[in-house]
Amino acid sequence: MEALPLLSVRDLRSYLRTPRGMVRAVDGVSFDLHAGETLGVVGETGCGKSVLARSIMGLLPDSVLVKESGEIRFGEYDLRQAGERELRRIRGREIAMIFQDPMTSLNPVMRIGAQIEQVLRLHLGFGARQAQERAVELLDSVGIASARRRAANYPHEMSGGMRQRVMIAIALACDPKLLIADEPTTALDVTVQAQILNLLQEQQEKRRMALILITHNLGVVAGMADKVAVMYAGRFVEHGVTSDLLTEPRMPYTAALLRAAPRLADPPHTKLEAIGGRPPILIDPPAGCRFASRCPRSQRDCERDPPETFHAQSGRRYTCWHPIGLSDG
Per residue in 18-63, pLDDT (tens digit) is 999 999 999 999 999 999 999 999 999 999 999 999 999 999 998 9
The answer to whether residue 257 sits within a structural domain is yes
Q: What are the residues facing 319 on neighbouring strands?
A: 309
Please state the rounded mean pLDDT for residues 232-248: 95
Domain membership of residue 55 as a residue range: 7-94+176-319
Give the pLDDT of residue 329. Answer: 38
CA 311, CA 231: separation in Å to the nearest integer? 17
- Rounded Cα distance between 11 and 21, Å, is 22
pLDDT band at 101 (very low <50, low <70, confident <90, very high): confident
289 lies in some domain: yes
Q: How distant is the alpha carbon of residue 61 from its chain centre?
A: 19
CA 152 from centre of chain: 31
Query: Per the structure, how many domains does the chain have?
Result: 1
Tell me: pLDDT of 156 over 60.
Answer: yes
What pLDDT does 261 receive? 85
Asked whether residue 230 is domain-assigned, the answer is yes
The answer to the question of residue 309 being in a domain is yes
pLDDT tens-digit readout, 198-223 = 999 999 998 899 999 999 888 889 98
Residue 30 is given by DSSP the state E
Structural domain contains residue 72: yes
Assign 326 a pLDDT band (cuts: 50, 70, 90): low
310: domain CATH number is: 3.40.50.300
- Residue 159 covered by a domain: no
Tell me whether residue 247 is in a domain.
yes
In a domain, 60, yes or no: yes
Detail the DSSP E strand segments found in the chain: 7-18, 21-33, 38-42, 65-74, 77-78, 95-98, 178-182, 210-215, 227-232, 235-241, 309-311, 317-319
Residue 103 has pLDDT above 90, yes or no: no
Is the model more confident about 49 or about 2? 49
Provide the whole-model pTM. 0.93
